[in-house]
Structure 1
């Protein structure tokens, strides 16, 4: 009896190892405003054909906001220009989820912030990967990546950022 109990424990431990390996397919970052205040959390999980992005935000201006994956893992305030451009695999970069010629892999649907300044959302993108694969650009390449929220909504067509305006919040993914 004791031996089967031990074997069950060993098997249970061995079965837990793959779930630890999956933890490497997940990155997170604190979403910070232009003044350095924390406005929430960003979680990105790798999926077989893209990534799942989860956002929990507070303290942002109510209404629609553009949101994009940016090419560098840097969020130096106050303008977050250190985050670079949107993640892309080809140049020139053509922005817009509604643009037939788009190749901007950092494009995401707009984020709606409620009247109380909060939002919780899950978004799925098939335009990027966490670590590369399926011919998709990797978020976690040598210089990392970030998620940037803009002041205005993205119109999904205007170059280069859909008319979404200033960068108001940024999260370095790690």
Structure 2
């Protein structure tokens, strides 16, 4: 509570300034002024056509993924996962070269699975009626450099894969997600 004086503005201003200096000092002391690791993935459909991008920003507790896609069949929820191999060249064969989910700890699939989740598990995305997706996802299960969870930018890379159906977050091996309909290789910036 701010004391009731004619200098309330000064007291409040001083408190805000002190808080700002404290926050700045903590950020500098904790090394938070360093540049965060980032990556991008150009997403391709089964015809090999670009449908948009995914941007990755690693933070201290996980990775933020921002999607901007178009030209997808909608509307509806679709599963999206991080796969263990950075290879999406086989668009005409369903992106199988991207391997299975990123899963260095050999966990079961599914965000709701008591024996999971694996490092590649993410929440579903929603494709709008017009075929667009604008979404942000956050994972504490994987990071670009491996500081948190599974490592996306290792020797064989990783891929972001979208499936034709939603993920039920429990059923093995991929939550009933079905065929792979889009894929993008995650590349460090």
TM-score (structure 2 length as normaliser)? 0.78
Offset, 1:29: 1.3
Q: Is the 8 A contact 2:111 2:117 kept in 1?
A: no
- 2:178 corresponds to: 165
5+ long unaligned stretches in structure 1:
1-17
Q: Deviations over 1:29-83 (max 9, x none)?
A: 1100011011110111111111000000111111110000000110021210000
Paired residues for 1:1-174 under 5 Å: 22=35, 25-62=37-74, 63-75=76-88, 76-78=90-92, 79-91=94-106, 93-134=107-148, 136-174=149-187
CA-atom RMSD in angstroms: 1.7
Q: Is the 8 A contact 1:90 1:103 kept in 2?
A: no
Measure the CA separation in 2 of the matches of 1:124 and 1:48: 12
Q: Is the 8 A contact 1:129 1:138 kept in 2?
A: yes
Measure the CA separation in 2 of the matches of 1:59 and 1:132: 32
5+ long unaligned stretches in structure 2:
1-30
Measure the CA separation in 2 of the matches of 1:69 and 1:115: 25
Q: Is the 8 A contact 1:89 1:103 kept in 2?
A: no
Offset, 1:90: 1.9
Q: Deviations over 1:129-155 (max 9, x none)?
A: 110124x11100110011000000000
Runs (4+) off by over 4 Å: none
Give the length in aligned residue pairs. 154
Q: Looking at CA atoms only, which structure, 1 or 2, has the larger radius of gyration?
A: 2
Q: Is the 8 A contact 2:110 2:169 kept in 1?
A: yes
